[in-house]
Amino acid sequence: MAWPVPSNYKITTVFAKPGKMWTTGRHEGVDFAAPVGTPVFAAGDGKVIGTGVWGGAYGSKSLVIQHGKLFVMYAHMSKLLVKKGDSVKSGQKVGEVGKEGNVTGPHLHLEAQAKPTWTKGGGINPAELLASDSGSAPVVPAKPAKPAKPAKPAKPAGPSKAYPGHPVKPGESGEHVKALQIALKVSATGVYDAKTKKAVVNFQKTYKALGTPDGIVGPKSWAAIVK
């Protein structure tokens, strides 16, 4: 048998757990705690033999599907998506988890019987049947993610008072070079040529604190020139 709920929901109340809240004195199925509205899947191919007619403890929206020689109850649902006489396929969504009937919180109660004689005991451990299935639990497709907002175009490196991000060297080209040339009052070609280097060297010589007058515009030189 296939898992009757999405794979992130596990068995929370085991089969045959003793308790006075159950008519037979024990839990006749297994429970999967899950929020109201969680999809419920058919645990195998089968035929719906009835809905909501097996006692108030199971809730008004319970469902029984005959899977071969086995009768399986899906109880406490909030919504049924199939009706008596319908044929279902393994993994088909047949309803949604609810909290009707004898419950302490929303969950799916899965109960297996050799005969559809509910509330009289004789349940078969569904966990053993589920464990024998070689497949995996149905996976509910995630809601499509919202499209990401287009990234803002990067601002050109210059003109700017901030250091452009890397040392500016002879032979380099770009808007930041043009900004440098404008600040040095040389032809703004956007290409770091010989005239630009000469202007940079002269500037560095004038301001000795900028370091060696090598024509390479590092952070200090850039901040001093482009201001």
The reported pLDDT for the residue numbered 123 is 81
Per-residue pLDDT tens digits for 64-89: 999 988 899 999 999 999 999 999 99
Burial 36-50 (b: 16+ CB within 10 A, else e): bebbbbbbbebebeb
Mean pLDDT of 196-218: 87
The reported pLDDT for the residue numbered 90 is 92
User: Could you give the percent of the chain with pLDDT greater than 70?
Assistant: 81
In which order are the strands placed within the sheet that holds 77-80?
39-41, 93-97, 77-80
pLDDT band (50, 70, 90) for residue 58? confident
Per-residue pLDDT tens digits for 83-132: 999 999 999 999 999 998 888 899 999 988 888 776 676 788 888 888 65
Domains in the chain: ranges and CATH: 11-131 (2.70.70.10), 175-225 (no CATH)
